[in-house]
Structure 1
Amino acid sequence: MFDLRAIQDLNLVFLNECNQEISASEISRKYNRTFELLPQDDHPESYVAKIDGSTFLKVKKLKKKIKITISNDLIVKVDTEDSESIIDFTNILVNNSIITFEDIKYSYYAETLFTDTYLVNNKSNFLDNFITLKELNETKSEKGELFEDQVSFDESSVFGVLEKQLDEEYNYIFCDDLGTEYADFIACKKNKIGFYHAKSSNTIFSASAFHDVVGQALKNLSYVSDLKNIRLDEEDGAKNFITKKDVWKRKYVNNKVKTNIDRLRKPRNANTDEEVERGIDFLKKVNSNGQTIRVVAIVVDFISKEKMAKEIMKNTNKELKQILWILSSFISACQELNLIPQIICKE
């Protein structure tokens, strides 16, 4: 199987052979998907992926790597914002895709073969990492519609549902979404810190959607292990930098819409500036406690635990191996750092 990650998030300008711009969303709709690699009978160890019956890329297993090439009739180039150089689209395919195999413990990414034995050795326990939240059955978007007088996230959004759930458990909740974010929500209470990454998608059972949210979680695992790596305030050597204290004292702004949503989500209706400082002090104290439990969670509304269990039993879904590899990589990476992985999803 061949899966191209979410290229609309790469902040690129796509050009066709006539040097005309093609929207990233248009490219994304065509290529952000999982493809079955079909063997070529006349070329051993060679496979092709097709769109609408036509071959658009070829994959060949060489002695030390896998070679990916695009067909001659697909000439798409990419111009980065900070450079005039043109990048061949093949480079985007090579660096932003995953190839999986019949043997699910293997995967190929960024010209490297990976082995992940977690799922193979822990099939019976895999679903134990899933936590169901029935409110996610009815969510319609990630954040909901935003407007200036808004003081909380839409209750029908993933952010709204997650925030309500966190409010029942934690003493402090910070919204860290956007900018140099380490999670969408960072929450803490005595002896527990949680990093929560949320994602909404209309595509059910989507490997590409999982790529996005799991990738965000994986790149920030080191910060969960020790919050000293985060510039929380000036005491963390951040006198000349914007700190989390600065960010968390502000209102939430997204797509130029300045809402009235405090980034300090709990406690509510407090003196925000003073309470943020108290919250950061509390966060540091919890972080320094060697007994603190650290949770990393992805929160999604495009999969249910029940459907996952059924698909694993059937083992016929084309995207299943991609999803299993992505999630098992997330789980094993967390466990290697003594973090607790959670996949919060529909029932």
Structure 2
Amino acid sequence: MFKDSKLISNIPFFLKIFKPYNRLKNIYSEKGESPFRTKEFSNDSLFYFIEKNLTTHHDYVVCDDLGNEWADYISIKSHEQITFFHAKHGKKGISASKFHEVVSQAQKNLGNIFATENELNRKKAKWDEIYNLNTYPYSQIKRLRRGANTRRALEMYKKTLFAPNSRKEVYLVVDFISLDELKSELLKLQQNQRAENETIQILWLISSFVLACKEVNVDAYITCLP
């Protein structure tokens, strides 16, 4: 039986960071594939989901995927909020290995939210580029997905970073975890029943992610299936 009473007592708190979306039922890949010279990621991809569901009220949105990436997406709500998004697609189920991968990516890049001016300035060349990948070899997808230009995006990042009361957030954007299923499995732990090792590992990973974010005053969120 799982005996960590402190971790078990924090389960209700951990579950509050999950945000269920029905739309995730129709996601079939992380980045998708699109026609020749497309300007958009395919609408069945997590990247498209991020743009159309999680960043709609933000002033600047950048796809920072590949290369020296800090996150798959970085968004800025002027003077109010900076958010890093880390995406991971997978088959529905309680998978600790997939979850571990995206948690590790997020934790590794937490410090980059508080980047220096020089570190931010070095992002300009990349953010000015067109996004190209094997599934998008001739795309016209601009890395700057929303906003006037990258110079203004970087300026606003710097201003927002030091703005009084501005929030910093990290989203794990996953489509393989069902909140109802996860609650059911975690309830077994709370009731001192035998639970799957995958469930215990995911609970440890959630705890690690939340605590790492709290240490640097960053809010943590995880998207999931209902």
Q: Is TM (by shorter chain) over 0.5?
A: yes
For residue 259 of structure 1, what is the aligned residue in structure 2? Answer: 139
Task: Provide the aligned C-alpha RMSD in A.
Answer: 1.9
Out of 114, 123, 126, which is 1:244 matched to?
A: 123
1:149 Cα deviation from its structure 2 partner: 0.9
The answer as to 2:175 corresponding to 1:331 is no
Gap runs ≥5 in structure 2: 190-194
1:318 Cα deviation from its structure 2 partner: 3.0
For residue 157 of structure 2, what is the aligned residue in structure 1? Answer: 283
Alignment of 1:45-124 (within 5 A): 102-104=2-4, 117=6, 119-124=7-12
Q: What is the one-letter code of the residue matched to 2:216?
A: L
1:232-253 deviations in Å (ceiling 9; x for gaps): 21xxxxxxxxx21000111101
**Structure 2 SS opposite 1:257:** coil
1:174 Cα deviation from its structure 2 partner: 0.4
Deviating runs (4+, > 4 A) in structure 1?
none
Counterparts of 1:104 and 1:143, CA distance in 2? 38
Q: What is the one-letter code of the residue matched to 1:337?
A: V
**Structure 1 SS opposite 2:176:** strand
Specify whether residues 250 and 302 from structure 1 end up closer, same or farther in structure 2 by C-alpha distance, changes over 3 A only.
same
Specify whether residues 230 and 173 from structure 1 end up closer, same or farther in structure 2 by C-alpha distance, changes over 3 A only.
farther
Alignment of 1:307-322 (within 5 A): 307-315=181-189, 316-322=195-201
TM-score (norm 1): 0.60
Out of 276, 292, 302, which is 2:166 matched to?
A: 292
Counterparts of 2:59 and 2:97, CA distance in 1? 34
Counterparts of 2:27 and 2:4, CA distance in 1? 31
Contact 1:186-1:196 at 8 Å conserved across structures: yes
**Structure 2 SS opposite 1:262:** coil
Gap runs ≥5 in structure 1: 1-100, 106-116, 234-242
Counterparts of 1:280 and 1:206, CA distance in 2? 36
Identity of aligned residues (%): 37
The answer as to 2:215 corresponding to 1:341 is no
Contact 1:139-1:157 at 8 Å conserved across structures: yes
Q: What is the one-letter code of the residue matched to 1:277?
A: R
Out of 96, 99, 112, which is 1:207 matched to?
A: 96
For residue 192 of structure 2, what is the aligned residue in structure 1? Answer: none
Counterparts of 1:123 and 1:245, CA distance in 2? 41
TM-score (norm 2): 0.90
Question: Which structure has greater strand proportion?
Answer: 1
**Structure 1 SS opposite 2:30:** coil
Which entry has the higher C-alpha Rg, 1 or 2? 1
**Structure 2 SS opposite 1:253:** coil
For residue 68 of structure 1, what is the aligned residue in structure 2? Answer: none
Contact 1:177-1:183 at 8 Å conserved across structures: yes
